[in-house]
Structure 1
Amino acid sequence: MALAGYFSNEEATTSTINPEGWLRTGDVCYIDNDGFLFVVDRLKELIKYKGYQVPPAELEALLLTHPAILDAAVIPLPDKEVGQYPMAYVVRKPGTNISHTQVMDFVAHQVAPYKRIRKVAFISSIPKNASGKILRKDLIALATSKL
């Protein structure tokens, strides 16, 4: 049975189901050489910087390789000139004192210029749901409440 669409919401139906009947999930995926499908990110969570798309998960994975970083989350911070730019919330490992500049430099030396972290805030813990997914909306609300 085919998906008929959203009840009484033609706009949501046409933006989610294409004319051939394929469902747009909003997931970013790839298929490897063995035919396995990997879901690696969400389109809705991509940061749109000057027309480039920056996956927060990629920057988070990179940040977690730093020996002074215990946990990290990257969010889109609204900006009138560039659209959005990557902002990192970082949890320092106990006994370390990594600075804002050190975090930004660490990332900048390993990514394309458009993927660079433009702002850093230190936080005691990254908010996550019961399954461990980062609650980006909470962090975005925190960041934008200070603008």
Structure 2
Amino acid sequence: MSLAIFADALTGLPVSHVWRGHGSALFVEFGRLQSQTRRDGSSGAPQGAITLMIEWSWRIEGPGSILVGSWSDEFGWNKVFEKLLGANVVSAETFGLLPEIAISLSNGLRIVSFMTAEGQPQWSLISRLTPKGSLSVKEGRLYVEPLSS
């Protein structure tokens, strides 16, 4: 399975929620949101039809500059995250010898992974649509893991 199948499912979906995980982890939810309940009964972050997770080393690009990144002052993150909301996905592509991901939006912004430490790029596209599964990088290649039920 290739990125093209995931990119086709993602194209046209709006950014519906952006949230921060542990440290600088970035989660971007695309499409219709569904509420989540944690095992302890508390509310979790809502999930979209497709989720982009970038564990670290990411940036959000504008037409002429980097607006914010994982090493930026956290004070400015939310302001830029808000600019993503409602924009539709125009394209999703990988680049580099070790695949990094770039998602271009209808408002001219791009969400880009860019690993700067040893190991593998640390991103995943998690699809709850067709195709169901998680696309990430393993041993330098794109890898699809089926979603557990």
**TM exceeds 0.5?**
no
Q: TM-score, normalised by structure 2?
A: 0.22
* Larger helix proportion of the pair: 1
* Larger strand proportion of the pair: 2
Q: TM-score, normalised by structure 1?
A: 0.23
